[in-house]
Amino acid sequence: MQQLERQIIITYRWWKDDSTELNEDHLEELDIHANERINELINDNYTSGELNTTIDDIDYRGWWEKVISTL
């Protein structure tokens, strides 16, 4: 029997335009926002895209991508 295994890897990263460190208190909220936005875009058949959010008047930008590899 032939078997096909695939590995799906989703990566994302956040940054601030002023290149300063991310606020530690915002990391959990950034994770939540990224997961929600990525799931929304994957459901629309996207494999990558921008992330944007503002927390406590701090603007964050990011990028995510989905990679599928055959094992």
pLDDT, one tens digit per residue, over 12-70 is 999 998 989 999 999 999 999 999 999 999 999 999 999 999 999 999 999 999 999 98
Cα separation values, 26 from 7, 46, 52, Å: 29, 26, 13
Look up the pTM and report it.
0.85
pLDDT at 58: 96
pLDDT (0 to 100) of residue 55? 96
Query: Do 54 and 14 meet the contact criterion of CB atoms below 8 Å apart?
Result: no
Q: Note the pLDDT of residue 27.
A: 98
In a domain, 62, yes or no: yes
Residue 71 has pLDDT above 80, yes or no: no
- Structural domain includes residue 42: yes
In a domain, 1, yes or no: no
Its domain, for residue 36, covers 6-70
Domain count of the fold of the chain: 1
